[in-house]
Structure 1
Amino acid sequence: MLQTFASSISSLLDARADGHSLPAGLYTRQDVFEADMDVFFRKHWICIGLECDVPEPGDATVVDIGTSSLIILRDDDAAIRVVRNVCRHRGARILDPGPTVVSKLVCPYHQWTYELSGELAYAPHMGADFDKSCKSLKPVAFRLIGGLIYACLSDDPPEDIDFLAEVMAGRLAPYDIANARIAHQADVIEEGNWKLTIENNRECYHCSANHPELCVSFIDLDFGFDPDSLSPEDREVAREHEALYARRTENWEAEGYPSKAVERLSDCVTNFRTQRLIISGAGESQTPDATSASSKLLGHMTRKDTGDTHLWGHNSWNHFMGDHAVIAIVIPLSADKTLVRTKWLVHKDAVEGVDYDFDKLTSVWLATTDQDAELVARSHAGVKDPAYVPGPYSRFSETNLDKFASWYIDRMRANGY
C-alpha cells in the first residue's frame, strides 16, 4: 500500500516540466499534503518562533505543526528549551496552544508534573519502584539563529543548518532579536496550499498591481524585469539602479553590515536566501511613508539607513530594519488551508505611543498579508479547476519560483517519493 502511495505521488513529480508551475495534484491532494508534512515539516529544519516569544523564566508557548505539538519555554536558568507537548504517562497534551506562564509543566489529566527542564518531578500513585528518570518530556532538536528558533522534528536533523547559522550570525547580531519585544502578532489563515503561499512570497511580479502600501518602500526593479520591454530611458534607470546597489552594498559591507546576496535555493537540504535590500523613498523602513516607525532603534542599531535585511526559508520570511522587524512563519493546516503568523518586533524598551505609533508600525504588512491571502485563495481555486494546466514562470521575475519548485521535487524524491 505504501509503495502504491509513493508511486502515485512520484508520477506527479515526474510530470512537472522545468520552468513551469507544479501539477495540480501537488497542490490539492490529501496524500501529497501528508507527504509534504512528513518531508518538509518533520524532516527539514523549520522556523517555529523567536527567543523573545518567551522572554522570562517560566514563559512558555505552544506551536502545533500538523499532528505534532511543541512547547517552547524558558527554564529556570533562562535557557531556551523545546520539548514535545505529550505527557509521558498516556500522551495527553500538557499545555493548550498559545502563550502561558508556568512554574512547572503539569499534565491536567493525571497531574504528572515536569520541571521546566523537562524532567519528570512528580507522578502520583506509580509506586515506590517507579523510575522517573526515564520519563522526561521528549526534547526536540533546535537551533537559535540570531534570535530565531529553528526546529527539526526528525531524530536525524540535516547538518547543513550550520551554514545558515554561520551566514546569519553577523547579519542579525546588530538587531539583537533575542532581546526584542513582540509589539503585535497577527494570524491569518489563507485558503490555499502552503506551496502557493511560499510561491506568492517569493516573487514580486504581482506587487505593483496588488500591494500599493508595500510598494512605497519596495523597489520594483529589485524583483526582475524584461530589459527588452523597457524604453531607452527606463533601461538607463535600471542601469543606474544596479550601479547604486553595487555602491550601497560595498559601503554597507565596509561599515560592518554584511549585505551581499547568499542563496541556497537548489542542490541543498536547508533552503534559504538572504540579502540587504535598499528601501525606496525615504529609505528607512517598511511603513506608509518609508520613514522609521520607532524612534528607538532595534538592538544595537544606531542608523536608520541600513536597508532591509531579508531572510526567507521554506516556511518563513523575515525583514529586519533599523527600527523594527517583521517575522512571518508558515504552518500548513490542510491541503487547502495555511496559517501565516506574522510578528512585529521593536526594541525591548520601546513604548507604544511614546517611541512608536502602532498603526504606522503594522499597517503596511497587515494590508499586504490580507492582500496576499486573497491572491493565494484565487490561485488555489484556479489549480483545483479542471482547466488548470501548469503555466510558464517568467524568466525575469519568477526565477525563484522555478528554483523552489525544482528544490521541492528534488527533496521529495530524496525522501522516497
Structure 2
Amino acid sequence: MSTPASPLRTLLDRRKSGYSLEAPFYTDPAIFEQDIKHIFGQHWIYVGPEVMVPEEGDFVTIEIGRTSVLIVRSDDMQVNAFHNVCRHRGSRLCTEHKGSVGNLVCPYHQWTYNLEGTLLFAEHMGESFNRSGHNLKPVHVRNIAGLIFICLAENPPKDIEDLAAAMTPYIAPHRISDCKIATQIDIIEDCNWKLTMENNRECYHCRGNHPELTISLYEYGFGYAPTPENCEGIDQYNQILEQRHQQWEAMGLPCRELDHLDDCITGFRTQRLPLDRAGQSQTMNAKVASSKLLADFQQADLGALSFWTQPNSWHHFMSDHIVTFTVLPISAEKTMVRTTWLVHKDAVEGRDYNLKDLTAVWVATNAQDRALVERSQQGIRSDAYEPGPYSPFTEMLVEKFCNWYTNRLSALAE
C-alpha cells in the first residue's frame, strides 16, 4: 500500500502554473514552519549592507524564526556571523538589535568570546575543560560587493558564487563600503511573508496605488499589455532604454537584464532602468536627494539599478543613494520589512541631504504596500478565496517567485 501524500505535498503537487498559491500557503502555521526550516533555513538570506557594522566590535542581531544570528565586525575588519547562543547553557549573548563590544561576554556567567567566536574565558570549569571545543557556532556568511548574505544550512548552496560573479560588476561601482546608513526603518506587516514578496515582484498595482513612486518610474518600465493605443509609447520607452544602456555601458556600468529568479537555487535578477522626469533618483522630484554622489560618480542621471534575490530582498542603486530591503518572517501572518537608506559616508545631513527628502518616496510606498498586503491577507482568509490568474504582461516575476518557492519546497520538504 502506498503512503498517503502529506497535506503540503498534495498542495505542492496540484499547484497550478500561472496562478496564485492556495490559501494554506499564506495562513497555515505548519506550512510556515516548513518555510522557516527549508526556505529560510537552507538558502542564502540577505540581512543587510556591510556598513551596518562599520567599525571593529560593531554587531547586529538578525532573527529568523527561533534562530538569532549575530553579525559582528572583527578586529581584522572581517564580517563574521555566529549563532547568538552561549555555549555554556544557551543564554542569548546579545539581546539588543545593535551595539558595539570589545569581546562577546555572556551576561549570565560571563563566558567570554573574541570577535572571531573563540572562547577566551570560562571561570570555574576545571583543568580538564576543553575550551577549544566550546567556541561559538559559526553561520555561513558571504559579502557580495558590500551586501551581506547568511545561510543557516550546514552545506549552503554553492551557486552563491555564480550570483557573486554576475552581480559584483553591477553593484561594485556604487561602493557600498564607502557609504553610511542615513536611516533604517522597520515595519511590521500583518500578512504572510510571501505576500510581501509577491507584491514587490510586480508593478501592476503601482499606477493606482503609488503616486510618489511613479513620479520617477517610466509607465512602461515594468510590463504593459500592448494595445493599439499604447504601442507608440512603448516604442518610445524602448528607444530611451537602449540609448541609456549604450551610454551607461560606455561609462563601464553594466545594465542589461540578468534573470535567474526561478532557474537557480540562489535565485536573482537585475537590470538598470532609466528614470522619468529629471531621471536622477527615486525622489519626489526625480532629482538627487544628496548632492554628494556615491563613489566617484560625476553624472547624476544614472537611472536605478534594481536587484532582486530569492527569497527575501530587493534593492535600488542610484547615483546619490541606495535603498535596500530585507524581509524576515515572524509568524504565518506577520512579517518584518526592514528598509535601509545609504548615502556617501562623507555626506552631511542638513548640508548634502535632507532625511525627509531622501526617504519620502519609500516611506509612502511602504505604507501603501503594507495596506495592500494586509488587505490581501484578510481576503485570503475567506472561504471564498481561490487562486487567481497572473497577468502574463505585468506579473511575470510573481510567477517566477512562486515557481522558485514551490520548486525549492518540493525539493527539500518531507
Normalising by structure 2, we get a TM-score of 0.97
Give 1:78's aligned residue: 77
Q: CA RMSD in A?
A: 1.2
2:97 aligned residue: 98
Answer yes or no: is the 8 Å Cα contact 1:204–1:220 preserved in 2: no
State how far apart, in whole Å, the 2-side matches of 1:300 and 1:80 are: 25
Displacement after TM superposition at 1:43 (Å): 0.2
**Correspondent of 1:318 among 315, 318, 333:** 315
Aligned to 2:395: 398
Matched residue of 2:221: which SS?
helix
Instruction: Give the superposition deviation at 1:151.
Output: 0.6
**DSSP-derived class of the 1:221 partner:** coil
C-alpha distance in 1 between matches for 2:40 and 2:56 = 28
Question: Which moves more between the two structures, 201-210 or 90-99?
Answer: 90-99
Q: For residues 216-260 of structure 1, what are the alpha-carbon distances to aligned partners after superposition, in whole Å with 9 as ceiling and x for unaligned?
A: 0111201111113x41xx311211111221221122112200000
Which secondary structure does the structure 2 equivalent of 1:183 belong to?
Answer: strand
Does the alignment pair 1:286 with 2:282? yes
Alignment counterpart, residue 359 of structure 1, candidates 351, 356, 361: 356
User: What's the counterpart of residue 263 of structure 2?
Assistant: 267
Where does residue 327 of structure 1 map in the other structure?
Answer: 324
Partner of 1:302: 298
Match of 1:254 among 230, 243, 250: 250
CA distance in 1, matches of 2:127, 2:298: 60
Distance apart, 1:166 and its partner CA: 0.8
Identity %: 49
CA distance in structure 2 between the partners assigned to 1:67 and 1:198 by the alignment: 21
State the secondary structure of the residue aligned to 1:223. Answer: coil
One-letter amino acid of the counterpart of residue 173, structure 1: A
Secondary structure of the residue aligned to 2:204 is coil
Distance 2:80 2:298 in 1: 32
Alignment of 1:18-417 (within 5 A): 18-228=17-227, 230-231=228-229, 234-313=230-309, 314-417=311-414
Contact 1:64 1:97 in 2 (8 A): no
The aligned amino acid for 1:277 is: L
Q: Which runs of 5+ in 2 are unaligned?
A: none
DSSP 3-state at the match of 2:6: helix
TM-score, structure 1 as length reference: 0.97
Aligned 8 A contact 1:114 1:120 in 2: yes
Report the CA distance between 1:300 and its aligned residue: 2.9
Deviation at 1:97, TM superposition (A): 3.6
The C-alpha deviation readout for 1:31-69, integer Å capped at 9, x for no partner, is 110001111111000101221001111111111111111
SS of residue paired to 1:220: coil
The number of residues matched between the two structures is 411
2: CA distance between counterparts of 1:21 and 1:385?
A: 15
CA–CA distance in structure 2, aligned partners of residues 137 and 297 of structure 1: 40
Amino acid aligned to 1:390: P
Contact kept in structure 1, 2:114 and 2:120, CA below 8 Å: yes
Provide structure 1 residue ranges, at least 5 long, that are not aligned to the other structure: none
Contact persistence 1:48–1:151 (CA under 8 A) = yes
Report the residue type matching 1:333 in the other structure.
I
Task: Give the Cα separation in 1 of the matches to 2:218 and 2:315.
Answer: 17
How far off its partner does 1:340 sit?
0.2
Deviations 1:96-155 (A, max 9, x none): 141101011000111101011110000010012211111110111111011100111001
SS of structure 1 residue aligned to 2:220: helix
Q: Is contact 1:55–1:179 with CA below 8 Å preserved after alignment?
A: no
